[in-house]
A and B are shown apart, each in its own frame.
Chain A
Amino acid sequence: MKDERTRRQFIRDVSLLSSSAVLGASMPWLKAMAGETQAGNGASDRVRLGFVGVGDRGRALLLNCQQLENVEIAAVCDNYEPHYQRAVELTNGKAKAFYDYRKMLDEADKLDAVIIATPLHEHAHITIDFLNSGIHVFCEKSMARTLEDSKAMTLTANRTGKILQIGHQRMFNPAYLKAYERAASGEIGQITQIRAYWHRNNDWRRPVPKGRPELERKINWRMYDEYSAGLMTELASHQIQVANWFLGETPTRVMGSGSICFWKDGREVYDNVACVYDYPKGVKVIYDSVISNRKYGLEEQIMGHLGTIEPEVRKIYSENPPPAPGFLQLINNLEKDIFETIPIGGASWVPETAVQYKGEYLVEDYQYDDTLLEMEGFVLAVRNGRPYPGLLREGYNATVAVLLGLQAMQENRIIEWPEEYAWKKNTELV
């Protein structure tokens, strides 16, 4: 990273976090990363990256990788002319540019790894082709549009021994890592429910160039069932990944309901979804997402019998908050006695509104960009030629869970996690 301060701070934090027994055991990638950050960074360790899909996300990932030391952006590929041109400009014409990723495959010996940020339905076959050519792959979330494709990607990664990392950056976010550590230490007690939501207020549409209606499906691929599972694969997958990770389990079954409720503009994917995921031992994850109101934004409320964690706002709340200092309580009481109106008859019922405790920060305000940290992690893994244990499992399980959620909504029935898609130790899906 060019920002040495960020880099040093990150390495220090990763080393500190990974030395924690809890984190080291349950997040092997962190431990591996801490070890590998000490590894050499010499010229021979130069990592040559290719990019397939330089749209919104691909561009952001490319800019991130340009900040990393000893990384060469050797090739870029996009089959949409404006984005192809943009990729060429971003790399000052230094990277070899392609319209067709298969041409890039022909020059695979000039690459160590590729970063795939194409639309969802284009993840699987591109990933599999590169893995089969001996190239490590970072593929954006979600893994694939179908369960079959997600499994095929996983099996190919296992068979080839190449790295396949899925873009769930929260596993590299210091606030989430700290949150995980505190949850695993028992501080919030037994987690019985996670309530997660992502609310936005926009139609999610992108403008299509005038006179080019044939580009509608390419540009607005998120709106079409063939290419995307809508809110589930685009937003929920991050949060269900967090839920799986914190619970250390995958759901046993899911029920759900979805509708096109507000944006009736010809889209095929739901703009309003709600799911309940059942986990072992009666634990529930309740998920909803809308794109017609943004008041509550996004959050994962991880609720235990002793406390709650809201990692998006970096906060932890105890069920029994520490009392305010005595003197402040005294002043508060005096203030109440003087200024509050006294009811004549006592209320028979007081509304049980939310507890007004402001909680405690999990980590100080920080400058981290978790996507940048995730890319740094991927490049380190490529340099060492080894995948981080556990990471692919997280990406796979999150994708299966959200695709099952969509299936439950579309078929209007409860869907059990199919045995053939279970990630088991010592099976083909290890």
Chain B
Amino acid sequence: MSDWIITRQRRRKELIFWGISFIIAFLMNVYSIARFNTSWSELYSQLHIVLLISFVLYALIGIIRLIIFGILKLIRKMA
């Protein structure tokens, strides 16, 4: 059985995806503070929720990526 190797490139890519998720979650928090007129201290007091949501988004993006990857593979096979 061959070992799974996570390349440096792959790690960088995943980190970028998670980073994007984090930024989106962070911006969502900024938006909700403005929208619901709550305290700006929530920018850091709610970081745990932001972090949690960033993982949820990362997982969602992961599912979308898997679907795209599957479709592309199928197209390539059929070509």
Interface residues of A in 13-49 (CB under 8 A from B): none
* Cβ distance B14 to chain A, nearest Cβ, rounded Å: 25
- Residue B29 interfacial (CB < 8 Å): yes
Alpha-carbon gap, A327 to B53, bound state (A): 10
Kindly supply a per-residue 1/0 record for chain B positions 25-47, scoring 1 wherever the CB is within 8 Å of any chain A CB and 0 otherwise. 00011011111111000100110
Whether the Cβ atoms of B49 and A326 lie closer than 8 Å is no
User: When the two chains form their complex, are residues B35 and A326 in contact, meaning their CB atoms are under 8 A apart?
Assistant: yes
Q: Which residues of the partner chain B approach A330 to less than 8 Å between Cβ atoms?
A: 28, 31-32, 35-36
List residues 351-398 of chain A with CB under 8 A from any CB of chain B: none
User: Is A325's CB under 8 angstroms from B35's CB?
Assistant: no
* Complex Cα gap A326–B29 (Å): 7
Instruction: From B34, B42, B53, give the contact of A325 (CB < 8 A).
Output: B42
CB of B45, distance to nearest CB on chain A (Å): 7
C-alpha gap A326/B25 in the complex (Å)? 13
Chain B minimum-CB-distance residue to A328: B49
B40 to chain A, nearest CB (A): 10
Contacts of B45 in A (CB 8 A): 325
List, in ascending order, chain A residues with CB within 8 A of B37's CB: 326
Query: With an 8 A cutoff between CB atoms, is A410 at the interface?
Result: no
A85 at the interface (CB under 8 A from B): no
Residues of A with C-beta under 8 A to B42:
325-327
Q: How long is the Cα–Cα vector from A103 to B36 in the complex, in angstroms? A: 74
Most chain B beta-carbon contacts within 10 A, residue among A325, A327, A329, A330 = A327
On B, residues with C-beta under 8 Å from A are 28-29, 31-38, 42, 45-46, 49-50, 53
12 extra interface residue pairs, beta carbon distance < 8 Å, beyond A325-B49, A326-B42: A325-B46, A326-B32, A327-B28, A327-B33, A327-B46, A327-B49, A327-B50, A329-B36, A329-B38, A330-B28, A330-B31, A330-B35
Q: State the 9 A-B residue pairs at the shortest beta-carbon distance, nearest first.
A: A326-B32, A330-B32, A326-B38, A326-B36, A326-B33, A327-B29, A327-B32, A329-B36, A327-B46
Of the A-B pairs whose beta carbons lie under 8 Å apart in the complex, a sample of 21, sorted by A's number, is A323-B38, A325-B38, A325-B45, A325-B46, A325-B49, A326-B34, A326-B36, A326-B37, A326-B38, A327-B28, A327-B32, A327-B42, A327-B46, A327-B53, A329-B32, A329-B36, A329-B38, A330-B28, A330-B35, A331-B49, A331-B53
